[in-house]
Chains A and B, each alone.
Chain A
Amino acid sequence: MNPVLRRTAADLAAAIRSGELTSVEVTEAFLARIEAVDDQVHAFLAVDRDRALETARRVDAKRSAGQALGPLAGVPIAVKDLLSYEGLPTTAGSRILENYRPVYNATIVQRLIDNDLVILGKTNLDEFAMGSSTETSAFGPTHNPWDLERIPGGSGGGSSAALAAFEAPLAIGTDTGGSIRQPASVTGTVGVKPTYGGTSRYGVIAMASSLDQPGPCARTVEDAALLHEVICGHDPLDSTSIDQPVPPVVEAARRADVRGMRIGVVRELGGEGYAPGVEQRFREAVEVLREAGAEIVEVSCPHFVYALPTYYLIMPAEVSSNLARYDGMRYGLRSGDDGSASVEQVMNRTRGEGFGEEAKRRIILGTYALSSGYYDAYYGSAQKVRTLISRDFEAAFAQCEVLVSPATPTTAFKLGERIDDPLAMYMADLCTIPSNLAGNASASFPCGLAPEDGLPVGFQVMAPPMADDRLYRVGAALERALTARWGGPLLDRAPDLTRSVQALVDEEK
C-alpha cells in the first residue's frame, strides 16, 4: 500500500504545507486506491476525479504562490451522498433521486470547498440514511473492509468503509440514530455526532429533521477534531443552528487529558444482548481511562430503555413528511406519466417504484403515528418520553462530565443477516439513539477487536450540548493509551485489500 494512504489528515496537511507532498500527489494516491479496491468495498457512489484533481492543483498553486493554507488544505475527503454538491448526482441512495443533480451546495460542502479540502466523491448509504448496514441503498451494499462479507454499518457505511479501506483520510457522515457512530464502531474508525445544531443541516437531505446531525468521520481523533472545526459553527440558513463559538475540539484532542474527569458508565447500556467481546473491550477501555486519571462512576438513565421505541415513532413521523416532496413533479424519478394518468396516480406510481422497502416501511409507520386518532398514543407519547430521556441525561451530566457505553451492542454482522428482520436491524442503534433524542454531543472511538471474531468494537462517549470538546478529550486519551498498547493504530490490523485480491488471483491460478 502506498504509505501516503496511511498517514493522518493532519500529517498530510502538514506535508502539503511544507512542500513535502503536493495535494495532487496525495489526491492521486487516494484516487488510485479507490480504483484498486472500491470494486470490492463499494464505498463510493460517484468519484469526482477531474474536479478533485483540479482542486488539488489549485491548492498546490496557492502554496507555490506563498498563500497561507488552512489546517486541512489539500487533504482529500469523501462526502456521504446525502449532502448536496453542485454538479455531482446526489442520490441519498435512492432510485427516486437517481438522476438528481443539485443546483446548490450544502453549507458543509461549501465550507469544505472554502477550506480547500479536496472532495473525492460521494459515498454510499442506506436509502435516505435509513438503515444500519448500508444494505438498503438502491445501488447495492457497501462491504466492511475488515471482512467483506460483513456490513460496514449504516447508514454511513460508505464513509466508514472508505476510511477503513484507506480510500480517503476523512469523510462526512450524518447521524440521525447512530449513522456516524455505529459505522465508525464496526469499522474501527472515529465518528462524531456534534451537538444538535452544531453543524448546519442546510443542503443535507433530511431524514428526521429534529434528529439529523452531520459530523466528521476520520481515522484519528485529532483528524476528526480538525474536520469538526472546519464544518461546525453557526449557519444562518439553518434555523436550528446554534449561534455560539465552536467548542475547542482541536485543543481538546491534542491535550488528550482525562485526569480528574468524572466519567459515568451508563448502567442501562450493556448486559443482555451485548456481545461478550464488545463488553470486554468496553470494560478494558474504561479501565484504561481510569488509569489515565479519570474517575469512573456508574450512573443510571432509566428511560434509555425506551429510547429505541421512542425513536421508531418520532423518526418515521418526520420521515413521512420529509420524504413527501419526492413526488415526481419537480425533480427526480417520475413514473407512470403516460399522458392520461392523473397527478395522483403518477405520484403514487413514482413513490411506489422509487422508494425501497425500508423507506416505504418507515413512511407508512410515520403516516400511521401521525394520523388522526393515533397521534396522541404514538407521536405525542414519544415526544413525552423524549423529555424523560433528556431529563435522564441532565441528571447524569449533573454527576459526571461525560457518559460512556459501547457504541453498538455487537460487532459487524453479516450482510443479509438482518435485512428481513427490521427489529433486529434496529437494535444496532440501541446505544446511539439516546443522544439523538436529547441532542447532545456523542462519538464512537475504536477500543479494540472483539476476541470472538476479531472485529472492531466502538467506545461511545456522550457529552452535554455544546461540550463537544469533552468527547475529544476522552477519545484522544483513549487513543493514546490504546495505540501504545497495540503498538500502532487499530486499522494497521485490518486486512490489506489489495493483497486479498492478489490472493484470490493466486488461488485462481
Chain B
Amino acid sequence: MSLTPDDVARLAALARIELTPAELAKLAPQLDVILDSVASVTAVAQGDIPPTSHALPLVNVFRDDVVTGSLSPDQVLANAPDAEDGRFRVPRILDEEA
C-alpha cells in the first residue's frame, strides 16, 4: 500500500482540511509508514471473528421522552464566530440545488 500526495490531497478534501504542498509531501510518506505498520492487522483478522465496536456489552440505554430545557439564546451564540438575528451566520453555500 502506498499513498501518493494526490491520494492524501483527496483524503484531505474529504476531511475538509486545506494542506500546503509541503504538508502533502511530508504527510504522504509518513502515512505510508504508518499504514505499513498496521498491515499486520488485516492479516490476523482472517476468519469468522465478530467485530467489536463497543468495549463493553451494554445495550438498550434510553432516556424518557421528557423536555428538560435548553440553553439561553446568549449561551447558544456565546461562541459563534458570526451571528445575525439569533442565528449563526455562515458563508455562502454552494449547494446541490443550483
Contacts and interface: CB of A to CB of B under 8 A. Distances in A.
Given A349-B18, A437-B55, A439-B55, A361 B30 contact: yes
Given A101-B78, A343-B91, A196 B56 contact: yes
Interface stretch (A160-168, A245-253, A384-392, A406-414): A384-392
Interface string A194-220: 011100000000000011000000000
A438 interface: yes
B15 A313 contact: no
Nearest to A309: B38
A381 B42 contact: yes
* Residue with the greatest number of chain A CB neighbours at <10 A, chosen from B49, B81, B91: B91
A377 B38 CA distance: 10
A423 B34 contact: yes
Interface in A179-201: 195-197
Contacts of B14: 367, 371
Contacts of A99: 79
A328 interface: yes
Interface string B10-48: 011111111110010001001101110111111011000
B27 A364 contact: yes
B17 A386 contact: no
Interface string B79-95: 11110000010111110
A364 B12 contact: yes
A392 B63 CA distance: 34
B23 A343 contact: no
B79 A347 contact: no
Contact of A365 (B16, B17, B31, B53): B31
Contact of A351 (B3, B16, B54, B91): B16
A342 B94 CA distance: 7
A180 to B, nearest CB: 16
Contact of B81 (A312, A331, A348, A361): A331
Contacts of A363: 15, 17
Contacts of B45: 380-382, 384-385
B33 A423 contact: yes
B49 A384 contact: yes
Interface residues of B, number: 52
Interface residues of A, number: 74
Contacts of B12: 360, 364
Interface in A75-116: 99-101, 103-104
B76 to A, nearest CB: 8
Contacts of B3: 368
Contacts of B52: 383-384, 386-387, 390, 437
Given A342-B91, A343-B92, A385-B41, A331 B79 contact: yes
A360 B27 contact: yes
A445 interface: no
Nearest to A347: B16
B88 A383 contact: no
A344 interface: yes
Contacts of A270: none
Interface of B: 3, 8, 11-20, 23, 27, 30-31, 33-35, 37-42, 44-45, 49-56, 58, 61, 63, 71, 75-76, 78-82, 88, 90-94
10 contacts: A104-B71, A196-B55, A240-B54, A240-B61, A242-B58, A309-B40, A365-B34, A378-B41, A382-B38, A385-B45
